[in-house]
Structure 1
Amino acid sequence: MAKKSLIQREKKRQKLEQKYHLIRQSLKTKIRSKVSPLSLSEKTKMREKLQSLPRNSAPTRLHRRCFLTGRPRANYRDFGLSGHILREMVYECLLPGATRSSW
């Protein structure tokens, strides 16, 4: 089980990412736009605005965590579970459509 503080920190990052998503996206499209040629000083101002946003609002700082345990590693996107929890649930036949391999 992951620490509660780490799980709460991740939730806070998700909220920040949702809050600043449109601002970040609009600034990036303005910087990259080839239709309206911006001067170098305007682009640097836009980059400064982008860098002034909170770090935790960047989508790359998010981790996918296990739904049950909060484990940040070995997560399966389809189920939202970590590997060992997924394996236990498959053995107990709690996941429909998932079969265990036997050879």
Structure 2
Amino acid sequence: MARKSWIQREKKRQKLEQKYHLIRRSSKNEMSKVASLSDKWEIHGKLQSPPRNSAPTRLHRRCFSTGSSRANYRYFGLSGHILREMVHTGLLPGATRSSW
């Protein structure tokens, strides 16, 4: 189980990312249209003005049940050991246990 403070921090980052998403996207579009280097530096300064935690690269996927950020499968939204337990108990239809 992940610490609750880490989970709350991740939720806060998601809210910030949604809040500043349009500002970042419009600044990046402006930068691609501008040709002069000085104008690009000004736009780059605007891109750095929002908080760091509003950047989408700072977001992590977390397990739906435990909140763990490691070994997370996108399709299921679960971490590896929880996914394995659910497959063994038959809670995920279509997923089969591997045996060789």
Report the TM range for the smaller structure's normalisation: over 0.9
Identical amino acids, percent of aligned pairs: 75
* Shift in Å, 1:40: 3.0
Q: Could you report, residue by residue, the CA deviation over 1:52-71 in whole angstroms, capped at 9, with x for unpaired residues?
A: 11100000000000000000
4+ residue stretches of structure 1 with deviation over 4 A? none
CA distance in 1, matches of 2:28, 2:92: 41
* Shift in Å, 1:41: 2.7
Instruction: Name the aligned partner's letter for residue 91 of structure 1.
Output: H
Q: What's 1:87 paired with?
A: 84
CA distance in 2, matches of 1:40, 1:97: 54
Structure 1 unaligned blocks of 5 or more: none
Partner SS for 2:96: coil
Q: Could you report, residue by residue, the CA deviation over 1:28-48 in whole angstroms, capped at 9, with x for unpaired residues?
A: 111112xx53x3332211111
CA distance in 2, matches of 1:101, 1:88: 13
State the TM-score, normalized to the length of structure 1: 0.92
Larger displacement relative to structure 2 (56-65 or 42-51): 42-51
Q: Could you report, residue by residue, the CA deviation over 1:49-99 in whole angstroms, capped at 9, with x for unpaired residues?
A: 101111000000000000000000100000000000000000000001100
- The partner residue of 2:73 within 72, 76, 90 is 76
CA distance in 2, matches of 1:5, 1:71: 12
Q: What's 2:18 paired with?
A: 18
Corresponding residue pairs, total: 100
Structure 1 position 45 matched with structure 2 position 46: no
- Root-mean-square deviation (CA, aligned residues, Å) is 1.0
Q: What's 2:3 paired with?
A: 3
Q: Which residues in structure 2 correspond to 1:61-72 (within 5 Å)?
A: 61-72=58-69
